[in-house]
Structure 1
Amino acid sequence: MNVMINGSAREVADGMTVAQAVRTLTAATTGVAVAVNDEVVMRSAWETTALSDRDRVEVLTAVQGG
């Protein structure tokens, strides 16, 4: 199936979860937020939230610095 992740089209396996999508982008375990189709997905739901064809996923990571 096709999804948009951070503005880039990607072909992913059917049934991919939000957690799996996050792991394709970052190894960070903290400071990460995710929205699917403009709705924030709580971290506690990442493992059980499956993506659907044409979903729009935004993965944001916090950065430090000045």
Structure 2
Amino acid sequence: MKINVNGEGREVAPGTLDKVLDELGYGGARVATAINETFVPTAARGQTELSDGDRLEIVAPRQGG
């Protein structure tokens, strides 16, 4: 299925957000996620299904001052 990841079109296997994150190489990484501008908590990723055309934002925490 086709989704938009951080502004870039990507082809991924259909499934839940946690599976798509694994496929994209983020498995186990501490990141924040949003689908179609709606925040998805870590605990809900396994129950959150992605659909064709969804916009996924993945943000890694940054350290600084």
For Structure 1 versus Structure 2, the TM-score category normalised by the shorter chain is 0.7 to 0.9
Identity of aligned residues (%): 38
TM-score, length-normalised on structure 2?
Answer: 0.81
Deviations 1:6-40 (A, max 9, x none): 111111112x211122221435533x100000000
RMSD of the TM alignment (CA)? Answer: 1.7
Q: Which amino acid aligns with 2:21?
A: V
Partner of residue 50, structure 1: 49
For 1:27 and 1:49, locate their aligned partners in 2 and report how far apart those are by CA, in whole Å. 15
Partner of residue 29, structure 2: 29
Give 1:65 deviation, angstroms: 4.0
For 1:27 and 1:43, locate their aligned partners in 2 and report how far apart those are by CA, in whole Å. 12
Query: Please, which moves more after superposition, 18-27 or 42-51?
Result: 18-27
The runs of 5 or more residues in structure 1 that have no matched partner are: none
TM-score, length-normalised on structure 1?
Answer: 0.80
Residues paired across the two proteins, number = 64
Partner of residue 59, structure 2: 60
